[in-house]
Structure 1
Amino acid sequence: MNRNWVLVILAGLIEILWAIGLKHSSNWLSWMGTALLIYLSFALLVQASKSLPVATVYAIFTGIGTAGTVVLEMVVFGEAFSWTKVLFILLLLSGVVGLKLVTTESNKKEGAV
């Protein structure tokens, strides 16, 4: 796994934090922290997208964020547990892993001169 995929994964993990921050922020300090996390996650995403396919990067980023947010909400914040949710999270994650496996990295953007 190279540096750019690590950036995508890190951006997805940070997305989990800011998505939860959107729900649970209650004062200006927590809102500023959430805004900082949003900026950081998208800065990492943009950096990774410079050498990886944007569609795959964004799908993996949102997949990590979606699955992680649902799991963290159930485990930490008492959201109702459902085997159906777990099934669909696993389905989502299998799609993310599948996209990663079939995507090749190119050092040059297609169509670039």
Structure 2
Amino acid sequence: MNVRWLIVIIAALCEVIWVIGLKLSDNVGMWFLTILFIIASFILLVYSGKRLPTSTAYAVFVALGTVGTVIIDMLWFNEAFSWAKVGLLAALLIGVIGLKLVTSDSKRATENKN
């Protein structure tokens, strides 16, 4: 994994944090932190989208954010656990990992083929 994909993962972690912040924010300080994580996640996503194939970077970002949020909901906020959820999350991750594996890491690779 290169640094560009690490930035996508960090952006997804920021997304999970701000989604949790939406649920927990009850004062100005918490809202401020939530907004900072919203800004950070999108700045990192935009930055990585300029250096990676945008569609794949976005798919990885959304999938990791979704999986992280569902897991936090189940572990921290007592959302009901079900094997169906686990299976669907696994299917989502398998699909996105497959998409990443068949996509070149650089936009230049596509430009060089033309």
TM-score normalized with structure 1 length: 0.91
| Equivalence for 2:105 | 105
Identity of aligned residues (%): 50
| Equivalence for 2:22 | 22
| Equivalence for 1:35 | 35
Q: What is the distance in 1 between the residues matched to 2:84 and 2:28?
A: 36
- Check whether the contact 1:51–1:109 (CA below 8 A) recurs between aligned residues: no
Classify the secondary structure of the residue corresponding to 1:71. helix
Q: Within 5 Å, give how 1:64-103 maps onto structure 2.
A: 64-103=64-103
Change (3 A) 1:105 1:6: same
How far 1:106 moved relative to its partner?
A: 2.2
Number of aligned residues: 111
Change (3 A) 1:52 1:100: same
- Check whether the contact 1:74–1:80 (CA below 8 A) recurs between aligned residues: yes
- Bigger helix fraction: 2
Q: What is the root-mean-square deviation of aligned Cα atoms in Å? A: 1.5
How far 1:28 moved relative to its partner?
A: 1.0
| Equivalence for 2:62 | 62
- Check whether the contact 2:53–2:107 (CA below 8 A) recurs between aligned residues: no
* CA offset digits 1:26-55 (Å, max 9, x no partner): 111111100000111111111111111111
Q: Which runs of 5+ in 1 are unaligned?
A: none
How far 1:107 moved relative to its partner?
A: 4.9
